[in-house]
Every structure is written in structure tokens, then in C-alpha cells.
Structure 1
Amino acid sequence: MKVFAIGVLPQPLTDAQRAEIMPQEVPHTLKLYLDAKIEQFWFRQDQPGPIFLMDVESIDQAKATVGQMPIVAAGLATYTFIPVGPLAPLGMLIAGK
């Protein structure tokens, strides 16, 4: 199943927090990408935080996976999870359907 995990950093990271958490967070995120748990990722333009397109078995798995990220475990970020799928109404445009 595909899930968007939308991150929010309620407070901008201080320089000290960034220096402490990012050396752990970046390799952790890269491993999730290489393990195909995160298919794509973006950085939000409206506020600090990433958006991940995840390939997981369930919302619970997405929550557990993101919950292990260092920035989340430290209480510096929270996520909203949205399951997504194909745009099924497009099928009505196919003749004979």
C-alpha cells in the first residue's frame, strides 16, 4: 500500500539540535529509501518538514517505521499518514466501463 507521511516540525531546529540529530537522521532516512520503505521524498515549501511516499503493508507499519526515525523519537517532529491509491474514477472515462 502507498502512504504519504507528512512531517511537521512544530519548532524550527536549533543549531545544537540540528548538529545532534541530523548525523543520525540522514543515514536512517537513506536506509529506509534503500530498503524501499520510502519511495520518494520531498521537503515542504510551506513549513519545515519532509513528505515521504512510503510503500508499506499498513498504516500501522508506516507509523512504526517513521516512529523509529531519530527526529521523531526525540520528539522534534510529528507525522500525519494518508493512504493513497490509483485515481479509480478515471476508469469511467474508458469506453465500455
Structure 2
Amino acid sequence: MEVLVLLAPKQGVTVQQIMAVLPLEIRATVKLYLDGKIRQWYSRGDGKGVLFFLKAQTEDEARAIMETLPLAKEQLMEHQYIPVGPLMPLRMLLGTETQQ
């Protein structure tokens, strides 16, 4: 299981506020990636934030991971959590004998 996390600055947060914390955020994010907690990370194409795919079984586990990051500690970002997993209807392609 993974959890998709969408992050965007909170209403009223300035670029300067984010930039002041960004060096710490980058280091903490790289550590989570190297520890295997962040599987993938992307910038949003519209420039309004980032998204992470976290190795987490639940939204609560993903939330606990994200709360360790400096931008979250400073309460500068909105977080949206979406649990994701395999596309289960694909099991039908395998036939009924392999369905669980």
C-alpha cells in the first residue's frame, strides 16, 4: 500500500516563508527518500506544490511521516492524503481461479 500526499502552501503563506525553511525541508525529504519512506516525488505541473508517494499502510502512518518535515512543523503547507493500491479489477483478467 502507498499513500499519495499532495502538498500546497496554505492560503497567505509567502514564497519567502517557504524559502526560509526550504534548505531544512530538502535535507529532511532526501533522508526520508533514502530511508525508503518516500517512493516517488514530483513537482506539480501547475507550480502549486509537490506530491509524494509514501510507503505507508494507512493515512495515519503517512501523516506521521509528513509531520516530521520542517514545512509541516511550521504549519506552512496544506496536506491531502489519498491511499492508493493495485487496480483490483485487473484480477478479472487472470480468471476466477486466481481471485481472492
Q: TM-score range by the shorter chain?
A: 0.7 to 0.9
Read off the aligned partner of 2:61 and give its amino acid letter: Q
CA distance in 2, matches of 1:47, 1:14: 12
Letter paired with 2:91? G
Matched, 1:72 2:72: yes
1:10 positional shift: 2.7
Check the 8 A contact 1:8/1:47 in 2, yes or no: no
Cα distance change on mapping 1:21 and 1:34 into 2, 3 Å:
same
Query: Equivalent residues in 2 for 1:1-97 (5 A)?
Result: 1-11=1-11, 13-15=14-16, 17-94=17-94, 96-97=95-96
AA of the residue aligned to 1:31: K
Aligned partner of residue 48 in structure 1, secondary structure: coil
* Larger displacement relative to structure 2 (20-29 or 3-12): 3-12
* 3-state SS of 2:79 partner: strand
- Tell me, in whole angstroms, the C-alpha distance in 2 between the residues paired with 1:60 and 1:34: 21
How many matched pairs? Answer: 95
- Residue identity (%): 37
Answer yes or no: is the 8 Å Cα contact 2:3–2:55 preserved in 1: yes
Superposed displacement of residue 47, structure 1: 4.3
After superposition, the Cα gap between the structure-2 partners of 1:88 and 1:19, relative to the gap in structure 1 and judged at 3 Å, is closer
Q: Take 2:83 and 2:15, find their aligned partners in 1: how far apart are those partners?
A: 32
CA distance in 2, matches of 1:58, 1:89: 21
- Alpha carbon RMSD of aligned pairs, Å? 1.6
CA distance in 1, matches of 2:63, 2:18: 23
Q: CA deviation at 1:93?
A: 2.1
Query: How many Å separate the matches in 2 of 1:89 and 1:28?
Result: 37
